[in-house]
Amino acid sequence: MGGNGQGGVDSEALQKTIDRINRKLRERLQNKKDSRPARKALKKLEGDYLVRLKKYEQQAETLRGRNSYARTDPDASSMHMKEDRGAERPWPKPAYNVQIGTEGQFVVGFSVHGQTGDTSCLIPHMENLRTHLGRLPKNVITDAGYGSEENYAYLAEHAVGNYLKYNTFYQDTHHFRKPELIRKRQFRAENFAYDPDRDEFICPARERLTFQYASRYTTDNRYVTDRRLYECHACDQCPLRGECTKAKGNRKIRISFRLLEYRRQARANLTSEDGQRLRARRSIEVEPVFGIIKQNMGFRRFHLRGLEKVKTEWGLVCIAHNMKELAAS
């Protein structure tokens, strides 16, 4: 049976198999041979497997790399709402991920996405800004949801100031008085000391993690990232094991040196004088705009369905917001 080139079977390959069995069945009937097992297999393939496979293919097409979609609006994904925080049963609802860029509380660009996470929205959002503004912004400052290697590489490629926080930025830059938190930090892979001469990492127990192999991943946006795997071979008897790893075998760490370097740059930029000024400004720039639109203008849900219509609706909301700002200035 043929496949889809990824080790699976697609409906086209299954249909070819069904046709082949049909041909064999006809031959067996002509030769008056027993055709019951073949007929049974055919019934299963045609009536069950083929029907289900076509349905799954259709669903995969609708998902376009997302984890979910809403029946009432296939362009929307199921997301948890901020309003439902603390609710006893916070059901996810069909929703869109809205991104905006602001300057002086005016919306200068927006994009609407079906993806739940913010990480994959940054590059399409930037490209959208470039189309509408004719250029990219000088600096980009975001919260910790955007700090991926792919996003950092995009900013570096386009010479845009990298002020993207990453998921552990807060822990890395705040002095914790709690000793247990300080202790926990030292077991994170990125905090292991690195010996460049021997290409080895050194863990808190002063044992060495040696290089095992390198692997390459390609993201949905065709960004290629290289990861190197290091393994410690002294974890068996280690008194720190309980704090260090829950793995059955040795502690292994997967490292992208490019990502570590991008994070280091982001941390240096964010903690610089300019970075501190931009961070302070961000909190009075983007967040209030969402607050004004949701609370003052009372816009809490989209009235239209489908990505293109929702984009238009959000565009109108942003224009209305900018006009209000202009009238108040």
Q: How far is the CB of 231 from ligand SF4 (least distance, A)?
A: 9
Distance CA 246, CA 296 (A): 48
- Residues 178-217, mask of contacts with ligand SF4 (x by CB under 6 A): -------------------------xxx-x----------
By CB under 6 A, is residue 244 in contact with ligand SF4?
yes
Q: Which of 9, 63, 70, 240 binds ligand SF4 (CB under 6 A)?
A: 240
Number of CB atoms found within 10 A of residue 80's CB: 14
By CB under 6 A, is residue 241 in contact with ligand SF4?
yes
Find, among 92, 85, 136, the residue nearest to 116 by Cα.
Answer: 92
By CB under 6 A, is residue 255 in contact with ligand SF4?
no
By CB under 6 A, is residue 99 in contact with ligand SF4?
no
Q: Which is nearer to ligand SF4, 64 or 183 (CB)?
A: 183
Q: How far is the CB of 149 from ligand SF4 (least distance, A)?
A: 24
Report the Cα 287 to chain-centroid distance in Å.
Answer: 22
Asked whether 125 and 223 are in contact (CB, 8 A), the reply is no
Q: How far is the CB of 187 from ligand SF4 (least distance, A)?
A: 7
Exposure of 172 in the CB half-sphere (CA atoms within 13 A): 16
Q: How far is the CB of 168 from ligand SF4 (least distance, A)?
A: 18
By CB under 6 A, is residue 238 in contact with ligand SF4?
yes
Find where tokens 């705009």 sit.
289
97 sits in which H/E element:
strand 97-103
Q: At residue 191, what is the residue type?
A: N
The dihedral sign for the CA sequence 79, 81, 85, 87 = negative
The dihedral sign for the CA sequence 305, 308, 309, 310 = positive
Q: How far is the CB of 192 from ligand SF4 (least distance, A)?
A: 8
Q: Which of 100, 141, 232, 266 binds ligand SF4 (CB under 6 A)?
A: 232
Which residues of the chain form contacts with ligand SF4 (CB under 6 A)?
203-205, 207, 232, 234-235, 238, 240-241, 244-245, 251
